[in-house]
Amino acid sequence: MKKQFGGKLTDRLISRYKKSPQWRNGKFMNAEETTMNINWQSLPKLLYKQFFETRGREPKAPIPITPFDKEAFLRSENKTQLIWYGHSVVLMRLNGKTLLIDPMLGPDAAPIAPFKSKRFSENTLDLIDQFPEIDLMLLTHDHYDHLDLASIEKFKPKVKNYYVALGCARHLESWGIDHQLVKEFDWWDKANFEGIEITFTPTRHFSGRGLKDRAKSLWGGWAFINGEERIYFSGDGGYGKHFKEIGEKLGPFNFGLMECGQYNENWHQIHMYPEEAIQAAIDAGVSKVMAVHWAGFSLAQHSWKEPIEKFVKAAQQKQINFSTPLPGQMINWQEEIQPMWWSKMT
């Protein structure tokens, strides 16, 4: 259990974090005032709803995952390919390199809680055995539904490099990852990886894996500029002014993978409603959108289909192109992929 919490905070680490413009009053802060309307009085009711009132919040049958075609994936040397595995896991092929974002392929998003938050798909850890070497793994923040100990340990022999939010390196190092392979990013930090310009972008969220490390590591999203291609991964977070800033500095984007799901009025400022995800994409100058952060776990009280249904409706109303691939389906962002597969499930 203790290992799940990751790396310990030390005075040396905190002195390094203090150098960040985002560190104020002993922790990392959002650019806009951000709160959650949860108190000790309301917490028991929320927890009861979360773990016991699950009707409609989980699919009745496991969500199938399209089998991975390693040969086809690696063959796409000059063609950008993406594969989404539910929630926020995205495998990409850019510039002939394999990248993986938020590699949470474990079966439980609440490994320290008394009740499990079970994944909607089965045997997802087995996918790791099928994947090729990962040239670069990217982490947006350290929450359990994005940074998973079981996945990291199984990926360890396959991963060559790690780009992570500032403060996340301590977790990887505590789990045996060589610190020389890990590069930490503050907001707007950028690096050139094999011809791909990668920038860590702001979000409106928080972090922490235990009671004592809340907001002691940073959170964000990723922007990828690959020649004429620009791809944006929003990361977790509420709607805010940062989307326009990202668009002005790094856009316009050909494709945007936008957080959509696990929202609630009690934590509205740290998770967007689907309609806001579409507006955020517009603000950032995204031409085509795809929803992530859904179809993996039930971490809020809405039905499991609601995020994507509202996302698609809002995209249609705003006349924005969208893509809705099946989990595990390999796509190119230029393709028209709209199978509406969830409508066939209960």
Q: What HEC string does 134-198 produce?
A: ECEEEECCCCCCCCCHHHHHHHHHHECCEEEECCCHHHHHHCCCCHHHEEEECCCCEEEECCEEE
Using DSSP, how many helices (H) and how many strands (E) does the chain show?
9, 16
| Structural contact between residues 204 and 242, judged by C-beta atoms closer than 8 angstroms | yes
The length of the chain is 346
User: pTM score, two decimals?
Assistant: 0.96
Q: What is the dihedral angle through the alpha carbons of 143, 293, 240, 279, rounded to the nearest 10 degrees?
A: 180
| Helix or strand (DSSP H, E) at 283 | helix 274-284
339 preceded by cis ω (within 30°)?
Answer: no
What pLDDT score was predicted for residue 345?
97
CA distances 19 to 27, 164, 186, 188, 296, Å, are 11, 17, 10, 15, 36
Closest CA to 250 of 189, 318, 185, 186: 189
Q: Considering just the CA atoms, what is the radius of gyration of the chain in Å? A: 19
Which residues make Cβ contacts (< 8 Å) with residue 80, sequence separation at least 6? 92, 93, 94, 226, 229, 231, 332, 333
Residue 217 CA, chain-centre distance (Å), reads 15
pLDDT digits (tens, 9 = 90+) for 304-325: 999 999 999 999 999 999 999 9
pLDDT digit string, tens, across residues 210-254 = 989 999 999 999 999 998 899 999 999 999 999 999 999 999 999
Residue ranges of domains in the chain, CATH in brackets: 2-30+74-340 (3.60.15.10)
Low-confidence ranges of the chain (pLDDT < 70): 37-48, 50-51
pLDDT for position 327: 98
CA angle 14, 149, 67 (to 5 degrees): 135
288: its two tokens:
């085509």
Distance, CA of 343 to CA of 329 (rounded, Å): 17
pLDDT at 79: 83
Res 66: pLDDT: 98
**Strand, helix or coil for residue 260:** coil
